[in-house]
Amino acid sequence: MNMFSKSSSPKVTALINEQIKDVEGCLINFENFMRAAVTPETAPETLRSLSTGVHQMENAADRSLRVMIDSLVGGAYLPSTREDLINVATSCDKIANTCESAAKMMVLQKFSFPKEYSADIMDILSHTRVQFTLLAKAIDMLFSKFNAMLQDHSILDDIRAEESKVDAIEEKLYESIFATDLDLAHQTQMAGFVDEICDISDVIENIADKIQIMLITRKA
């Protein structure tokens, strides 16, 4: 059983891979932005420039998403399969959107994390990058090893395991932030940015759930 048409899957696979590459580029640029944002001596102009790099890759991911969706029009896929592919692709686009939004708002609010939070913030992003690498592999398996994935989709559990690690760090950060002597407005601002950074991991986990649903609904 294969959910993809042999005649059209190479084209769609290439376009989805292009979108994944653009989203990954956005995530990498955001990681570079955050590395600077948790370094106290970073100049505002540097953060603004790095934020522009995130924005550019987010635009690239938007363009590749539209091209991929257009490629499905009139194709050989069943309507349900087209819908599933679009759901996964638009969810991947949310990763880039979240990166772009967080970077933009941090620049506009002239916000940077205190140095003592830098290790935890970068640890969150490290686990998120592992998640994304696993997600990209899982999406590739939908095309190249679909039948095998029907039998063993443990890679999706690996994605969730990384998200659980992010959750643990996030909880520790919240406790630390609200235990400081900072005023409530500053605490809330900081916690809000932590939440947005961790949202990227949540989005990736949600995509893993969507993929599992796709597998379940097609398993004989």
pLDDT digits (tens, 9 = 90+) for 88-138: 999 999 999 999 999 999 999 999 888 899 999 999 999 999 999 999 999
Q: Which carries the bigger pLDDT value, residue 214 or residue 155? A: 155
The domains found in the chain, sorted by start residue, are: 9-218 (1.20.58.220)
Any residues with CB less than 8 A from the CB of 20 and at least 6 apart, and which?
Answer: 92, 136, 139
Indicate the pLDDT class of residue 1, thresholds 50, 70 and 90: very low
- pLDDT tens profile 204-214: 999 999 999 98
Note the pLDDT of residue 220.
58
Give the global pTM. Answer: 0.91
How far apart CA 122 and CA 66 sit, in angstroms, is 31
The 10 Å Cβ neighbour count of residue 152 is 10
Any residues with CB less than 8 A from the CB of 71 and at least 6 apart, and which?
Answer: 11, 12, 15
How far apart CA 205 and CA 159 sit, in angstroms, is 6
How far apart CA 192 and CA 61 sit, in angstroms, is 25
Note the pLDDT of residue 128.
98
Q: At residue 5, does pLDDT exceed 60?
A: no
